[in-house]
Amino acid sequence: MVGRGCFWQRSEFKERPIVKRVIAIRHVHFEDMGSFEPVLRARGFAMQYIDATTDDLRAIELDRCDLVAVLGGPIGAYEEALYPFLIDELALIERRLASGRPIIGICLGAQLMARALGARVYATGVKEIGWSPLTLTEAGEQSALQHLAGGSVLHWHGDTFDLPDGAVHLASTPLCRNQAFSHGTAALGLQFHVEAGGPQLERWLVGHAVELAHAGLSVIALREATARLAPSCTERARQCFAEWLDRISAAEATTETVAARA
């Protein structure tokens, strides 16, 4: 018989929801998770931004993170002599990749992932900035990136990378062969930006004004293209990201089931 004063009575017990944690490592404030954030919130993720330039990357407890996102920025993944924080960031990415737990890299983030996996990152000699479609590989068509087929995505980079050993090539463009890759079941690198677009791109137009001017690109034309193409891209990007998260969850569930039976 349970007494009225017992703290564990059924009427007083409330199951607490499990909160998933995602940390997003950013290099400039306006390059954030963008259209991916609503997907994460809907799935119960608690967002935390880490500033690679000023925060202590060595203090991040990776085993407590359900997802690590490494975002873009206007520097090279090979420029640690100029930006020493990249040394700690690469070490963090190496540890995360070795753990086999979920990580996604976007633009600079994908380049850092490629370098952490032993691949070369280097300047292309040309800027790929603007909206254009991807060409998916056969593997890309079978991946979560299938939602991006047939539509344009935003490109904004001047560097590229060789495909890392053991990685699966997912997408390309005429100017850049390695636009996306996966490594294992839970690592995804995207050279392009599907998380950005819409009104938030005004921050990019201001923040990258010098780069646009040096590249001889029209701010007005880029704004007009964004107005036409970003709404469709945003919806497809959310579908792509949601399916990628679903596939990771399914793979983790399978692993747990196998481990329980062992």
Segment 207-221 shows an average pLDDT of: 96
Sign of the dihedral defined by the CA atoms of residues 50, 88, 183, 119, in that order: positive
Cα 212 to Cα 222: distance, rounded to the nearest angstrom:
10
Q: Which two tokens stand for residue 90?
A: 């690469």
Tens digits of residue pLDDT in 145-195: 999 999 999 999 999 999 999 999 999 999 999 999 999 999 999 999 999
| Tally of domains within the chain | 1
In a domain, 8, yes or no: no
Domain of residue 138, CATH code? 3.40.50.880
In a domain, 150, yes or no: yes
Sign of the dihedral defined by the CA atoms of residues 244, 245, 250, 253, in that order: positive
How would residue 18 be classed by pLDDT, with cut points 50, 70 and 90? low
Residue 139 near residue 167 (C-beta atoms within 8 A): no
How would residue 7 be classed by pLDDT, with cut points 50, 70 and 90? very low
Element (H, E) at 230: helix 219-261
In a domain, 2, yes or no: no
Q: By residue range, what is the domain housing residue 153?
A: 18-261
